[in-house]
Structure 1
Amino acid sequence: MSKAASKGALEALHNKLATTLAEALDGLDASEKGTAAILNVARQFLKDNNVEAAPREGQPLGALAEKVAQFPFDPAEDTRAH
């Protein structure tokens, strides 16, 4: 049986993935086919490996948290799944 990747290796992957995705998304058209799938695979990989980060001002995750906060979401009002 193979060993799981070390926490340090996963943290390094997290940083590289975050940087690469941020750079790719800067010039990416949000409607480009496959974008959501790529992001979902990356998100699930990090989740599966318990890689977490706290949003901090001046960091990419902090900037994302600030942007998301501009769009309040009420699941009760979401009619897409109904």
Structure 2
Amino acid sequence: MTLDDKLNQLQEILIDEMIRRISTGEATAADLGAARQLLRDNGIQAVAQEGSPLHDLVTSLPFQDEADKIVNSIAASV
């Protein structure tokens, strides 16, 4: 088994474990942060499309001033 094969296998194991923890509700804040960082490190990005869970999250945030509303609008349209 080559080093690349081993690294790919390790990444698959880590991803499977992260999915399991998040799915069962046992993920800690550190687990969620690690999952977020793994996605970011691998260039995975989400688009907050109308009606998506991400869009619902963005629009539920309690923005108070106009600058925050602009950021919210930009995030929702990306």
Using structure 2 for the length normalisation, give the TM-score.
0.46
Structure having the higher Rg: 2
Using structure 1 for the length normalisation, give the TM-score.
0.44
